[in-house]
Structure formats: C-alpha cells, structure tokens
Structure 1
Amino acid sequence: MLIKQYGDPTGQKGHERKYSPAECTGAKKEAIFGKPDMSEVGTSHVERQNLTMRMGMRRFTRLTNAFSKKAENHAYAVALHFMHYNFCRIHKTLRITPAMAANLVASPWTVDDIVALVEKAEDAKPKTRGPYKPRAKKDISN
C-alpha cells in the first residue's frame, strides 16, 4: 500500500491556496500481503482511473456546482460510466473493449444494449402492491 502525505501549498494569497493542490511532502510504502516489489509500487494506475472518471462524469469535476442530490443517483451514474467504459468504449491500446479482452462479451455493446439490460432488470423486480380500493359501506359486513 502506498500512502501519500500532503502538506499546505506554498501560495500565501487566498485564491492560490484555494485552487492549488496540496503539495506531496512524503510517501509511506507498506506491504499488506505477499511480497510485492516495493520499487514497482505506485499510484499511476489509480490516478489515471480517477482522471478518466473526472473527465467522463461532470459530477466528479473539481470546484464545480455539478453534484448528485441523492447517493442512489450518484451510484447509478458511476455504474453507467463503468458499463460504457468497459463494454462499449474501444480502447486504443487494447483495440477492443476491456470486456472483450476479458472474454466476457464477443462484440462491443451499444448504449441500447445497456438500456435493454436495465429495462430487463426493472421488469424482473416484483411490483409492490398499491393501496386497497375503498369499499362501499353496503359491502362491509359489520
């Protein structure tokens, strides 16, 4: 595990401190399990994934007013992003989608395929019963 330690930015003015990222003052590497090569431990893959998410979803951009009012909607947006990223988007380095590289699907999906999958899942949910209809007084046997 790599833990980066951050300190205050060097800017003295208020706007410089507000918009400048904190400076990395150190890092601590620790093996959680196994025997990893500590010279290969880094955060580049995680940082790249975070950047991809920020660029692909407005709700993850910094210092903006785009946000999710409900955590449930936020989770749906993240799920939709990852479905598109892994099943629809052809990556330049792979020349196929990650799902195809993992032999999960035979061809790239379209957004229509994802919508159909969601609709199928919604149809499978049991419908909750609504309220009872009011009965006429003559039908009540008290």
Structure 2
Amino acid sequence: MSGENWVWWFWVSGSSIVAAACGIIAWWRGGAPERYGFTLILIGWTLTPFVQDRGGHGPGVWVMLLDIITFAGLIVISVWSRRIWTLFAGAFMLDTVASHLVVFLAPHVDLYSYITSLGLWSGYALALSMVAGVWENEIYRKARASLSQEAHQKL
C-alpha cells in the first residue's frame, strides 16, 4: 500500500472507529436525544454498504438519499429535544449532503477529496457532536441533581 493510500485509509477507517466509540459513549451516558440520535446515525451507517453504488464515482444517489433522511431525522430530534449538539449534528449532515451534491454537479471532483469530506463531516464531526451532547447531558444531569438536593434540604 503506497503512502498516500495508507494515510487515506487511516483517515476513513479512523473516522469509523472514532464514531463507533463516541456512539457507545452516547448510549452509555447520554440522555434520550443522544440515544435516539446515535441510533438514527447507526441505522444510516449500517444501511450504507447495502445501498451504495459500486460501479460509479462515489457512493451514489441512494447513499445521498439515506443521508438526507438522517439529516431530516436529526432536525426532528433537534426540534423535539432543544439540545444544542443536535444543531451541529444536523449542520454536519447537511455538509455531508452538500458533498454528495458537489460530486453530482461537478463530476470531475477527485474521489479522494469526496471520500475525505464524507469522513470528516459524517465521521469525525458527527461523532464529536455526539460527545458534546453527552457532555451537555451530564451538565443537565448534575444541575437537576443539585436542584433536587437543595429542594430536599429545604423540606
């Protein structure tokens, strides 16, 4: 494997590993929005290999539609939960969809650039937004416990 291909492979595989680790943290310490969000993202990641185009330039239109559905689901979770991390996750999925559109509108875009942008937006950035969601949930959890303790002491 040449040096350039090794770096690219590490980038793409690394984003999957980081995303999986962040998802486990979201299921373990996150609240309902984090768990729903990661479940939605996990479904998208699981279905992607089954719907991607193997003969063309990049994953194809079905993966883009799957990412649009994931984007819409994250927006619904954002409106329902009113959590800040969901806005970032939705923005990163919108960037992912935009990366798909760029390839359809400008097919001369290099495949390495395309896959690298997908690894960035739907891998690392999405995973870090989930970790931020868990951190936000921990802040809410400690605030609720503190308020509950203060109310109990006043009784």
TM class, shorter-chain normalised? under 0.3
TM-score normalised by L of structure 2: 0.26
TM-score normalised by L of structure 1: 0.27
Mark the structure with the bigger radius of gyration: 1
Name the structure where strand makes up a greater proportion of residues: 1
Task: Indicate the structure whose relative CO is greater, using CA pairs within 8 Å and at least 6 residues apart.
Answer: 2
